Amino acid sequence: SGTYGILEPHNNRLINKNKIDLLIVPIVAYDKNHNRLGYGGGYYDRYLKDYCGNVIGLAFNFQQVEKLPVEKFDLPIKIIIDEK
């Protein structure tokens, strides 16, 4: 168990984020402007602010809401794949 109690591999080798082609981020809820509500820690927003690769959110239709409150540090997800 590592930061925020997230299970992590026992590999101590760091990988430069510029070498990662795709990140799949968790979504609790999202809106039509592709703003996402995560789990409240801001971890993904901090990581993504200077990430240049592709980011995808996976969701179900029932997770879409009309509008989410957005803070200045919240970053929308370009691609959200749902069950439409």
Among 13, 21, 31, 45, the active-site one is 45
Task: Provide DSSP, 38-77.
Answer: -SSS-HHHHHHTT--SEEEEE--GGGB-S-----TT----
13, 21, 31, 36: which is the annotated catalytic residue? Answer: 36
Is 36 a known active-site residue? yes
Which of 13, 21, 74, 82 is the catalytic position?
74
* Catalytic residue flag (residue 45): yes
Bridge partner list, 23: 55
Q: How many angstroms separate the Cα of 26 from the Cα of each of 36, 59, 62?
A: 9, 8, 15
What are the residue numbers of the active site?
A: 36, 45, 74
